Structure 1
């Protein structure tokens, strides 16, 4: 039976570091979680209807041809009243999510900071470096409308950015990442166990880790491995480390580091280098540099794996490209459009991963039955209950 509605926000399993919502704050998240699902499904379908019945015929009448690319579709659709309404609702939902998350976090920031200090104290698994500069492409915009982005602090040394990020992911995704927002990491574990049964990587590196929600499942799945999560943003690392400690994860180290400059790691140090929904937040200059560094620190025979949305291609309809491009122009994701048009295979090949060692596969988040009790098996249709990604990967040639 199809089940579209996530449970009440307060019923979701939460770890000790998780910000505690008041009644009305939880109610707002309940509304936003279901509103986001409604916009993605029922209301979102109206965009295609508007395109096919109004926008495309008008474009053909004016130009004598079909739109050539996603940009022409966007300019035409931005004049359509249905799409303008849908787009405004979606943008406002994100701003409401951020406002609610900030309210929850700032109301209890003293307690959250104190708890994070308690979890982080005396541990050698959190390394912060104030000399690490925030890249301009990250500092110049509040990514997906998050005030201060990943790097913002209400006061020096706080965890406000990480706590806000964790607090609202459930609402933003309509529960598709699971109760702990770790659907991406759970998907990685399921994929590797299916593709390489019995493989035990000695060292794993997660780039652009934010609060570590996608790497914690890997650390749990490979408790003997040394797992390292890096990011340039200290606030999310403080929170992420405390979150991992609250979940009992001890083999995961959080390090403040720019992925373009990983000189602290020797060549071939890691058996697995990976990202989850990170590449689209990189500039056109930084992305190839980060992939090159990732290949450098990857051991021969090791795995590079990037979870992302699919790249635009000649066989993807321009209308679908336009819809996928929405975040680039409306959700403070300035590199989204350009990144998804890049030749990732070519970039990875130039970095030292030949095309015959590369692969593209589909990955779906593991269904969380605390949210969707009737969720199907991994090989069955999930009716939008869990998030989906494309995975771009390669096994580095053995020397």
Structure 2
């Protein structure tokens, strides 16, 4: 199954003009990422740091001062403003077709969810305030954030996530064959070939692309997936049904799982760690350990922004914390995730970091994995 840019009836039907605007945003972001952002560290050394030193009589030292020095560079300020604008343009370019086609999309989703031959399921928890630290944020400026839920049949959050995510990823250089789940599939083949999961849990599943891919890759396994937003999950459930795969979606917080101990052989997450704070991250790791069986495997895959050669590179990578609705981007980049995994109780000799290559481009992903001890102490 092709995970990215797969076609199904829950996607908005964009006009030629709307698709052209989306392609323009993709090309703008490619330009900003490949040609402009790549020069930001040089701008710090050639413009920002000298201007800071002239103003303060010394070189910048702390991360806050390095950020101040970056903004002493006119070209850095221009990039920052353009990058913020391009991110906002993503949501405008996909929002127009979503809201124009909203009624049809929601009707199609409802029909798929109610079909007598449906393969999976959807369990929501109306009225519960799930993960307010995430639900109250327009993460990466997505309008309404992950938890947007405008009505009892709303699917807008999922539509925003999938269509906006494609525009974002293509602007980062991702190809249509790229897949975060594909990165984990390759890791399972190379590093854990003995694992044949019968029950899989996908944490923070968003629009369900990876969840559907696991159900397709392991057709004999029972796949469960969780996220905090009802609108996101309605979309994910209908999407999986449209693709003919069985996924059981649950509205749930990764730090407060409603599954029994030892319920799964494999627990995975994709790009979830950088969206949550340190306390919730540690609880989510402990919960993942609890619900995986003894000897079972947990894999957290995420963005490859954690390892920077200098403090300047690190500060430059943390732009998203202030300007892109990524409240915990810096928290994630600075975290000792190996220590967190060991403290949660994973077998110490099993906890590993992996620098994983993308499926079909030059980008890389960060992965940390660990096994539950065969016998708990």
> What TM-score results when the alignment is normalised by the length of structure 2?
0.91
The count of residues paired between Structure 1 and Structure 2 equals 367
Q: How many angstroms does 1:57 deviate by?
A: 3.1
Partner in structure 1 of residue 372 of structure 2: 396
1:72-124 residue CA offsets vs partner (Å, 9 max, x unmatched) = 21111123211111011111111111112221111011100000011111445
- Cα pair 2:255 2:287 within 8 Å, conserved: yes
Distance 2:244 2:108 in 1: 15
Q: How many angstroms does 1:13 deviate by?
A: 4.8
1:238-261 residue CA offsets vs partner (Å, 9 max, x unmatched) = 0011111111112x2111112222
Partner in structure 2 of residue 336 of structure 1: 329
Partner in structure 2 of residue 151 of structure 1: 147
Find the residue that maps to 2:209 and give its secondary structure: coil
Q: How many angstroms does 1:218 deviate by?
A: 1.8
- Cα pair 2:305 2:317 within 8 Å, conserved: no
1:280-301 residue CA offsets vs partner (Å, 9 max, x unmatched) = 1112221111111111111111
- Cα pair 2:10 2:106 within 8 Å, conserved: no
Q: How many angstroms does 1:310 deviate by?
A: 4.2
- Cα pair 1:271 1:302 within 8 Å, conserved: yes
Larger CA deviation: 304-313 vs 214-223: 304-313
Which among 204, 219, 239 is matched to residue 215 of structure 2? 219
Matched, 1:51 2:44: yes
Which among 51, 67, 78 is matched to residue 74 of structure 1? 67
User: Structure 2: 5+ residue runs without aligned partners?
Assistant: none
Matched, 1:300 2:294: yes
Within 5 A, what are the aligned runs for 1:110-149?
A: 110-121=103-114, 122=116, 123=118, 125-149=121-145
Which among 240, 261, 269 is matched to residue 263 of structure 2? 269
Distance 1:283 1:147 in 2: 21
Within 5 A, what are the aligned runs for 1:278-293?
A: 278-293=272-287
Within 5 A, what are the aligned runs for 1:156-167?
A: 156-167=152-163
Q: How many angstroms does 1:31 deviate by?
A: 0.8
1:228-276 residue CA offsets vs partner (Å, 9 max, x unmatched) = 10011010100011111111112x21111122221x3111111111111
Larger CA deviation: 72-81 vs 151-160: 151-160
1:50-75 residue CA offsets vs partner (Å, 9 max, x unmatched) = 11211223345556665434332111
Partner in structure 1 of residue 176 of structure 2: 179
Distance 2:348 2:97 in 1: 47
Partner in structure 2 of residue 363 of structure 1: 356
Distance change in 2, residues 1:242/1:202 (3 Å): same
Partner in structure 1 of residue 22 of structure 2: 29
- Cα pair 1:188 1:218 within 8 Å, conserved: no
Q: How many angstroms does 1:171 deviate by?
A: 1.3
Within 5 A, what are the aligned runs for 1:235-250?
A: 235-250=231-246
- Cα pair 1:29 1:168 within 8 Å, conserved: no
Distance 1:318 1:115 in 2: 49
- Cα pair 2:146 2:232 within 8 Å, conserved: yes
Within 5 A, what are the aligned runs for 1:89-100?
A: 89-100=82-93
Partner in structure 2 of residue 108 of structure 1: 101
- Cα pair 2:122 2:250 within 8 Å, conserved: yes
Distance change in 2, residues 1:132/1:258 (3 Å): farther
Which among 228, 232, 242 is matched to residue 228 of structure 2? 232
- Cα pair 2:147 2:232 within 8 Å, conserved: yes
- Cα pair 1:132 1:258 within 8 Å, conserved: no
Which among 21, 35, 39 is matched to residue 42 of structure 1? 35
Richer in helix (by share)? 2
* CA root-mean-square deviation: 2.0
Distance 2:192 2:137 in 1: 39
Distance 2:106 2:230 in 1: 13
